[in-house]
Structure 1
Amino acid sequence: MSGMIFDIQRFAIHDGPGIRTNVFLKGCPLRCWWCQNPEGISPKPQIMYFEYKCLHCHLCVDVCPLQAIRIDKGDVHIIDRELCDACGKCSDNCPSNALKLVGREYSVEEVMEEIRKDVTFFDSSGGGVTFTGGEPFFQPLFLKGLLEACKAEGIHTVVETSGFVSREILRKLMQYIDLFYHDIKLFDDESSSLYTGVPSKPILDNMRFLSESKRNMVIRFPVIPTITDTEENIRGIAGFLSTLRVEEIHLLPFHDVAEKYARLGMPYKMRVHEAPSRERLKEIKEVFEGIGLKVVLYG
């Protein structure tokens, strides 16, 4: 059993209780305009180019077997993303790590070897493993293998999800998940389809299903100026959450990540580049507190 991972972060403290190891699975069915991890959208490996690290030695051009890298006027590196197959030879030979291969195949056991390094910290802090992404449910068989392995070793599991997943997969895997970190972005179907690429109804239905199944769930709400922070959207979400078995919501203020998209050669649709004001965050916090939720505000 194997799957595509684009990062493993140790000693994380914001993605579940205690000290955690975060495992980032690659691939996502959503196309959120503001996605903070665009390297997790595609299910395939990709090359990231960090221009500020580049020594302009041109070794990458020499070693690329497909001639997918060329040097333009002004010594600018151009990567032909259609031609590049992310073999990794350019990143392997880059002396300054200006080129980075994002995403590689891991077996369940290889991931578990990394996780086991932190078991002592899990035990002392009440921590565990958080599977995030991308969308972890995008690789359901691999995720199931990882969750089963963690449960067999008594490791606490969190899955951070958009909720856009088939009910069949959710029903099969939820028994292995101790805590869901469940995103909610847009209440209205039309707005959700525009800004995330998928309708909101299947996501809301899955949230209700998890609530009725008495699964532990923390809600995560990205505060995106002019998109998710409208009065209509916030009131709609608050009204919906008031009907569920949830006690806590995390507010995640927007941060501009245009540079990440540029490094991946991906288009960035966001027109707003400023974070929400402290005043607006306070107003939103008060709305959710008004329905009895504990509100955690991230910076």
Structure 2
Amino acid sequence: MDRGLNEAQLERTARIFNVQKYNVHDGPGIRTIIFFKGCPLRCKWCSNPEGLKYEHQVMLKRNACINCGACVPVCPKNIHYMENSEHKVRRDIKCINCKRCEKACLQNAIEVRGEDKKITELIEIVNEDKDFYRMSGGGLTVGGGECTAQAESLISLLESAHIEGINTAIETCGYTDIEKLKKIKEHVDLFLFDIKQMDPIKHKELTGVNNELILNNLKYLLENGSRVRIRMPILKGVNDSFEEIQEVVNFLEPYRFFKNFEGIDILPYHRYGVGKYDQLDMVYPMEGGFSLSEEDLDNIENWIRSENIDVNLVRH
């Protein structure tokens, strides 16, 4: 497993918050997804709020907690406390990931998210399903959070996967330093690259950052031979108008017939991650009706297809 890796790579760790096996939505074939912690964006509809911060975080399922207080005395940082007989979590103190609170909770109401795993450990997990990758044309996908935020760990993981003969893909918002991206691209077989909004002002309102760096990085990848499939999160009344879809199509027009441009995935808005916000004492910022009807989605799919661009509606 470690052939070709130097000592630093063997000892390098990545901070992750989930591993998902047998995925068929994020890259070709059957894939294992490793979710890296930390993200420079703050998309208002994010379904993985536990992946936004790099720090370890305590998640509390209040509907399972019986307010017994067993977690309070075991926490060395005094993160857990009781107030009026109710269990609460201090969010201004950094968790050190000792997991004593998690172990003390007999109701499984506490989960500490964020594990530091050696690259070699992660490749062992990925290798467990090598036969499935071989039969289906699948492999490893790295997501997040934003995986490029841990660039060195990402490169080591992708390089290790290639050494094992495993196909690699990454899900990325594209907001990363170009020099880091150049190093990362050497070990990526497919970029699943988000376009959330073309208008820079709206993009900043929705995600917290301008999109100039993102679009420049996308151009770089397309113009330098990297295989790219665009992913478009679509929210009703936010970025689903004909004009907004056409802006994306116009941006991609010069690359329409590039062999390395593999089309567009439409990702309809969903609310699967809403419950996790409460577990982190966060407010979900997208209250309201942002789901699209089947007719809406069919229209968007047809608009894009009419421009001779391959398009796929991803249904989770």
Class of the TM-score when normalised by the shorter of the 2 chains:
over 0.9
Q: What SS class does the counterpart of residue 139 from structure 1 fall into?
A: helix
Calculate percent identity across the aligned residue pairs: 36
Unaligned runs of 5+ in 2: 1-11
The equivalent position to 1:208 in structure 2, one of 219, 222, 232, is 219
Whether the 8 Å contact between 2:56 and 2:94 is mirrored in structure 1 is: no
The alpha-carbon distance between structure 1 residues 96 and 41, as it changes in their structure 2 partners (threshold 3 A), is same
Q: Could you say which residue in structure 1 is the equivalent of 2:9?
A: none
Confirm whether residue 254 of structure 1 aligns to residue 269 of structure 2: yes
Confirm whether residue 161 of structure 1 aligns to residue 139 of structure 2: no
- Which AA in structure 2 matches 1:264? L
Question: TM-score if structure 1 supplies the norm length?
Answer: 0.95
Q: Could you say which residue in structure 1 is the equivalent of 2:299?
A: 283
Distance 1:247 1:64 in 2: 49
Question: TM-score if structure 2 supplies the norm length?
Answer: 0.90
Distance 2:188 2:86 in 1: 46
Distance 1:235 1:103 in 2: 39
Alpha-carbon offset, residue 102 of structure 1: 0.6
The equivalent position to 1:71 in structure 2, one of 82, 86, 89, is 82
Alpha-carbon offset, residue 274 of structure 1: 4.2
Q: How is 1:1-299 mapped onto 2 (pairs within 5 angstroms)? A: 1-73=12-84, 75-87=85-97, 88-244=99-255, 245=258, 246-256=261-271, 257-299=273-315
Deviations 1:86-126 (A, max 9, x none): 53221122122210011111111111111111112111211
Alpha-carbon offset, residue 52 of structure 1: 2.2
Q: Which moved more, 1:54-63 or 1:41-50?
A: 54-63
Q: CA RMSD for the aligned pairs?
A: 1.5
Q: Could you say which residue in structure 1 is the equivalent of 2:6?
A: none
Q: Which moved more, 1:153-162 or 1:53-62?
A: 53-62
Q: What SS class does the counterpart of residue 217 from structure 2 fall into?
A: helix
Whether the 8 Å contact between 1:255 and 1:273 is mirrored in structure 2 is: no
Instruction: List structure 1 segments (4+ residues) > 3 angstroms apart after TM superposition.
Output: none
The number of residue pairs the alignment matches comes to: 298
Q: Which moved more, 1:75-84 or 1:148-157?
A: 75-84
Distance 1:122 1:163 in 2: 26
Alpha-carbon offset, residue 64 of structure 1: 2.0
Q: Which moved more, 1:118-127 or 1:237-246?
A: 237-246
- Which AA in structure 2 matches 1:285? E
